[in-house]
Amino acid sequence: MRGVLYSRPCAGAAGGDIHYLSVCGSGLMARVCLADVAGHGTAVAAIGAEIHGHLRRSVDVIDERKVLGRLNQRLNEKGVEAMTTAVLATYYPPRRRLTVCYAGHPTGWLFRAKTGAWARLCEPLPPPPKPGFVDLPMGVGFTPTYNRHSVRVSPGDRMLLVTDGVFETTSPDDTPFDTHGIETLLNSHTGSCDDLARRLLAALHGHAATDELAHDDVSFLLTEFVDGPPGPALWHVFKHRLLRQDRR
């Protein structure tokens, strides 16, 4: 993936928004996580460190459902009483497969280069036939199951993920930017990810009529899918894992 990550805390140098980008040990599977912890500033910094550590240890776990489920269990066991929403997206270039899991987080957007159109990225699935908690935020004392959405993407397709600070950017008359503001921007502008990211940020500042977005932590990730490393996947597994171990 190639693109732009913007993240600005509303109080101090640390905030409640968390971002993590990684690649697996074989140099193939790229993963991004955007999360939002309830609260601001240094008070939630320890939770961010806990989540970063878990994501770092999970770079080779293929199924995002396991990553979120184990993280939720860890937060519950540590008694962390801070609701955390998250979206976890994994791109596997050899199969051009994008898989996404949501934990109470806002749905993202996907751009198709072939059609030139944006659409919501993997809408939530209908409730299961049996009672149970599904796709809930983490750290709230429950043990939900998480759905895993899978979609095929092509080079040139794009993905936009945001935290709710983007939606909740309000105008002087208390009108939120909301999904309408995002979709109006996405459907009316073209250009590179850099250009679109600058336009989105300018639109947020323009909507709020201020140079400082101090209402909440604000984060978004705008990325384009590009060709993966050349050669068979098995070669990359061999090169990054077996050969590296031999050198050690």
Asked whether residue 117 carries a pLDDT value surpassing 90, the answer given is yes
- Tell me if 68 is assigned to some domain: yes
Mean pLDDT of the 5-18 span: 79
For residue 66, the enclosing domain spans 2-239
- Tell me if 14 is assigned to some domain: yes
* 130-167 pLDDT tens trace: 667 899 999 888 889 999 999 999 999 999 999 999 99
pLDDT category at 211 given cuts 50, 70, 90 is confident
- Tell me if 110 is assigned to some domain: yes
Percent of the chain with pLDDT over 90: 59
Q: Are 192 and 199 in contact (CB under 8 A)?
A: no
Domain count, the chain: 1
- Tell me if 244 is assigned to some domain: no
- Tell me if 93 is assigned to some domain: yes
* 97-116 pLDDT tens trace: 999 999 999 999 999 999 99
**What would you report as the CA-atom Rg of the chain, rounded to the nearest whole angstrom?**
19
Mean pLDDT of the 188-216 span: 90
Q: What's the CA gap between 210 and 213, in Å, rounded?
A: 7
- Tell me if 246 is assigned to some domain: no
Q: What is the DSSP letter of 132?
A: -
* 28-82 pLDDT tens trace: 889 999 999 887 666 677 788 888 999 999 999 999 999 999 999 988 887 766 7
Q: Domain containing 192 — which CATH number?
A: 3.60.40.10
Burial 26-43 (b: 16+ CB within 10 A, else e): bebbbbbbbbbbebbeee
**3-state SS class at 223:** strand
Q: What's the CA gap between 116 and 194, in Å, rounded?
A: 17
Q: Residue written as tokens 């939770």?
A: 47
CA distances from 1 to 35, 105, 167, 176 (A): 19, 21, 24, 30
- Nearest Cα neighbor of 181 from 218, 156, 214, 211 is 218
Q: What's the CA gap between 82 and 58, in Å, rounded?
A: 21
- Tell me if 247 is assigned to some domain: no
Asked whether residue 221 carries a pLDDT value surpassing 60, the answer given is yes
* 222-239 pLDDT tens trace: 999 998 777 666 656 666
- Nearest Cα neighbor of 99 from 152, 61, 59, 54 is 152
- Tell me if 153 is assigned to some domain: yes
